[in-house]
Structure 1
Amino acid sequence: MEVISGRVHAAFPMGDATRVGEARRHAAMLADECGFDETQAGRLAIVVTELGNNLRRHAREGRLLVSARPGRRVVEIIAVDRGPGIADIERSLGDGFSTGGTPGTGLGAVRRLSQAFDIHSSVPQGTIVLARLGADDTAAPDDGRPCAGAVSLAAPGETVCGDAWVVALDGDQATLLVADGLGHGPDAAEAAEAAVAVFGADPLASPRQLIERVHARLRSTRGAAVMVLRADDAAGTVRSAGAGNVIGRIVSGVDDRTVLGQHGTAGITIRSPEETTHAWPAHALVVVCTDGIETRWKAELLRPVLQSDPAIVAALILRDHCRGRDDATVAVLRRPH
């Protein structure tokens, strides 16, 4: 079993060249934290530079999202923009292609240097590029088991995020917890991280048990909205329990089901937790969002990315439906191909 704790993404709007350098320095700090050697850190610097410059030269409202998973010794870079989009992705990945008078090696170089790479683009909505680099092979895609990805951003003006997420991968099963501490700032972050700590102590407990334990632990905090889901690939089911306004959805090419928790706030007041069970159809994504994300996004948004890396899916929802005034987190589980 592997437990992966999510880290907030630092966001760098690519308004000018100085922001590229700022993102590169932040990525270098994360690389050191993850134990990258000099060669690996150099590759990461190139990836950040290429993606940042692409956004600065070609995109509208482009920004780099930078995060790390220290336990996996992985740094993740996501480039997000709002247009103009790429009409021919394969051509854009070839060396020599350029629309801006540059050598045209940007996206091709990023793909070669990254252990995990994915891209989604639509015209004129925009492009999302994912590059994941690691100190070993843990940045490579997982095969044969569910995989997870997320994007988490702090509220504007805050230096810490009051949301948190964690996932446990165990064979055919994936258990995901997403917590949204009340309000935002350090006190909200304390509550969300306390929920993650409870999960880490026994990730194999049932969703109902985990919600009960989180509720008890969070009594000394300001409380949080929490959802726990256990997705079972072999059984084709998703079991869930939750409290508050963290909302899940199971989205496929033909179906869209909402997964709700009960009313209340973990750590303050909840009824006895109840579990619900939903079908997990083939090719369906499990998506969990905190209330920093609009609730009425259309399932059609995800149809082109059902087979994409979950982090691409999360970034797409966040780009198009972030409220922009609170902490915001989107976490996604995908069944094995």
Structure 2
Amino acid sequence: MNIAGSLTQVLPIEDSSQIGHARRTAQKLAEQHGFDENDAGRVALVATELASNVLKHAQRGEFHLRVLARPGNAFGIEMQTVDRAQGFDLDACLADGFSTGGTQGIGLGAVSRQTNVFDVYADHRGAVLLARIFARSDRQADVRFGVSQHSLHADPACGDVWHLAYEGARISALVVDGLGHGEDAERAGLAGAQAFARAPFADPVMLMEDLHQEMLGTRGGAVAFAQFDSQRDGLTFAGVGNIGASLLDPEKSRGLASHPGIVGGQYRKAKPFDYAHVNGHLLIMYSDGLQSRWNLKDYPGLVHRHPAVIASVLHRDFCRGRDDVTVLVVDLEATHG
């Protein structure tokens, strides 16, 4: 399964009129991707409750929306709300019958039963709520990755590009940051992703050279990819430029090393690095639009949350605000179908 990158769609939630816009936008996206009336209605219901909850406890926040590629050419809808409020009463919000104001008052607990994936992280810095909904006919397991990708000043073009490939027990993940931002940077990133998608599990030295050849004639950019194989319980990482990457478990974090240079410009052949005993770890890759000084130990319990929640928390708290930004989080599970 190949998952091509896409931007996170962001809708502000600052007054009650924007709840309806979030509902209509999410429902339309579901309908466009094959959801029937009942399943699109579930999306609309959850979107309404999530957006209403932001106004109730935070007064303002954001509604994040994306389409999820699923095995077998199916699709899911991912919705998240992100805020910076203090004092989120998770127990009250999860209680059935707790009204978030202007809704049926069914509560986030009941909403969670309308979803295939529901997760929350809340502390004094704010809250992130995640809901993933698949069609009722789609009984495949959730693919445990998350991404938060945003272009500078909401430009339609984004110089950051990501790509994921799943094949049996193997996962390959790519992040490219085209130099600068805007259309020329995006062109460089897409050229690299195109080469990666053709052979994501190829020998890493050859694969990096393929990306280099494809990106010649563009601005070039920073590139990193990680190839995970659960059967050998190992990960191979190759990077050129300033894509950040870490392997984490609840006890420790390991930074992954890149080489200097510009893919599509000048670089020496990138020696890949191998990391053992990584089954069950989190892989986090990010462009330099994200500060590198974050530490998940400052967020008790966050390492155990869904990768999509982790990506949104890191983006919310560590985005530099002066470049495109991508945060890709992948759960290195033991097996994948």
1:33–1:271 Cα change, 3 Å: farther
| 1:164 partner SS | strand
Counterpart check, 1:77 vs 2:74? no
Structure 2 counterpart of 1:38: 37
Aligned mates of 1:244, 1:139 — CA distance in 2: 37
Count of matched residue positions in the alignment of Structure 1 and Structure 2: 330
Counterpart check, 1:254 vs 2:251? yes
Q: Is the 8 A contact 2:279 2:333 kept in 1?
A: no
Q: Is the 8 A contact 2:160 2:186 kept in 1?
A: yes
Structure 1 counterpart of 2:116: 115
Structure 2 counterpart of 1:130: 130
Q: Is the 8 A contact 2:172 2:227 kept in 1?
A: yes
Letter in 2 for 1:19: Q
Aligned mates of 2:169, 2:141 — CA distance in 1: 18
Which moves more between the two structures, 73-82 or 94-103? 94-103
| 2:153 partner SS | coil
Question: How far does the alpha carbon of each residue in 1:250-295 deviate from its partner, in whole angstroms, 9 at most, with x for none?
Answer: 1222211111321111111111121011234454311001011001
Letter in 2 for 1:229: A
Structure 2 counterpart of 1:324: 321
Report the Cα offset of residue 158 of structure 1: 1.0
Report the Cα offset of residue 76 of structure 1: 0.8
- The root-mean-square deviation of aligned C-alpha atoms, in Å, is 2.2
Aligned mates of 1:155, 1:189 — CA distance in 2: 12
Aligned sequence identity (%): 35
1:41–1:20 Cα change, 3 Å: same
Letter in 2 for 1:310: P
Letter in 2 for 1:43: R
Structure 2 counterpart of 1:21: 20
Report the Cα offset of residue 13 of structure 1: 1.9
Report the Cα offset of residue 230 of structure 1: 1.0
Letter in 1 for 2:116: Q
Q: Is the 8 A contact 1:116 1:139 kept in 2?
A: no
Structure 1 counterpart of 2:98: 97
TM-score by length of 2: 0.90
Q: Indicate which of 215, 220, 224 corresponds to 1:218.
A: 215
Question: How far does the alpha carbon of each residue in 1:7-52 deviate from its partner, in whole angstroms, 9 at most, with x for none?
Answer: 2111112112233233333323422331112222221111111111
Q: Is the 8 A contact 1:11 1:66 kept in 2?
A: yes
Aligned mates of 2:192, 2:265 — CA distance in 1: 13
Question: How far does the alpha carbon of each residue in 1:121-172 deviate from its partner, in whole angstroms, 9 at most, with x for none?
Answer: 22x2221111112234267424xxxx32211111114123221211111222
| 1:294 partner SS | coil
Structure 2 counterpart of 1:3: 2
1:139–1:115 Cα change, 3 Å: farther
Q: Is the 8 A contact 1:227 1:241 kept in 2?
A: yes
Q: Is the 8 A contact 1:86 1:126 kept in 2?
A: yes
Letter in 1 for 2:67: A
| 1:265 partner SS | coil
1:302–1:205 Cα change, 3 Å: farther
Q: Is the 8 A contact 1:83 1:125 kept in 2?
A: yes
Q: Is the 8 A contact 1:283 1:306 kept in 2?
A: no
Structure 1 counterpart of 2:164: 167
Which moves more between the two structures, 262-271 or 52-61? 52-61
| 1:264 partner SS | coil
Aligned mates of 1:195, 1:26 — CA distance in 2: 31
Report the Cα offset of residue 248 of structure 1: 0.3
| 1:63 partner SS | strand
Aligned mates of 1:24, 1:186 — CA distance in 2: 31
Q: Indicate which of 283, 286, 291 corresponds to 2:288.
A: 291
Q: Is the 8 A contact 1:51 1:106 kept in 2?
A: no
